[in-house]
Amino acid sequence: MQTPLMIGIAGGSGSGKTTIARKIQERCTDLAITIFQLDHYYRDLAHLEPAAREKVNFDHPDALEMELLASHVEQLAMGKAIDRPTYEFASHTRSSKVARLDPVDVIIVDGIFALYSPEIRKHLNCAIFVDVSDDVRFIRRLRRDVDERGRTNEGVIKQYLSTVKPMHDQFVAPTKHQADLVVHWDHFNDRTIDMLAKMIKSSIRRP
Ligand SMILES: Nc1ncnc2c1ncn2[C@@H]1O[C@H](COP(=O)(O)OP(=O)(O)OP(=O)(O)O)[C@@H](O)[C@H]1O
Ligand SMILES: [Mg+2]
């Protein structure tokens, strides 16, 4: 059985991980690439009252069901299909729907904690960290949360200072040292995408 190329993309919230993963996918249309988003592995908070769910620290690695996540990453790395949970952000609960992820050529593991757990890292062929300064990431997050998620400036600032920033500094930023490649993404940089796409294409050898 052919096993996929496993690529991890970590970096702080708003660094551009998902944008980079999508651009790689657009550049490699001849390959089957799955973007595997860690966000779907947030713990199901259905047992809590809605008000209590809002108070959970979603920026701490314990907010994710790491064991299930690691076992799914392992199965994918072995070239097996998985049934990925589906997370509903609005209610902080796991949907009854699962998404079948079939074997592909390349799996891109996308999430702030993609390089955090050794149980995930050991399955990666290439570990990337997207390094973008805190102010740029904060501005992107502020715009996204206000424009697309109906949040207030004050609410976004409060969450950033209380959990996003301290958890980033403690758990996400140090994983830069686990990366094989550190990429800058302050601006859209086509050369970065070109290089990553070439690396991926040359790593996939078809019989
Ligand atoms: N190079 C860039 N220059 C300007 N804006 C960008 C750039 N890359 C991404 N963005 C924008 O910044 C926002 C965050 O990007 P993206 O969603 O890719 O980040 P992320 O790292 O996946 O964040 P999260 O961890 O919160 O999922 C988006 O609105 C995106 O369009
Ligand atoms: Mg993202």
- How many Å lie between the centroid of ligand 2 and the Cα of residue 207? 34
**Mutation to probe ligand 1, out of 42, 140, 187 (largest number of atoms < 8 A from CB):** 140
CATH of domain 5-198: 3.40.50.300
pLDDT of residue 18: 96
Q: List, run by run, the mean pLDDT of 10-residue segments along the chain (207 residues).
A: 92 96 97 97 91 88 97 98 93 92 97 98 98 96 91 93 96 98 94 96 79
- How many Å lie between the centroid of ligand 1 and the Cα of residue 54? 23
pLDDT of residue 51: 85
d(CA 76, CA 195): 24
d(CA 135, CA 179): 22
Full-model pTM: 0.94
What's the angle, vertex CA 168, arms to CA 163 and CA 171, rounded to 5? 110
Using only the alpha carbons of the chain, give its radius of gyration. 17
pLDDT of residue 206: 61
Question: What tokens were used for 65?
Answer: 């069901």
Residues with CB under 6 A from ligand 1: 11, 13-19, 112, 140, 144, 185, 187-188
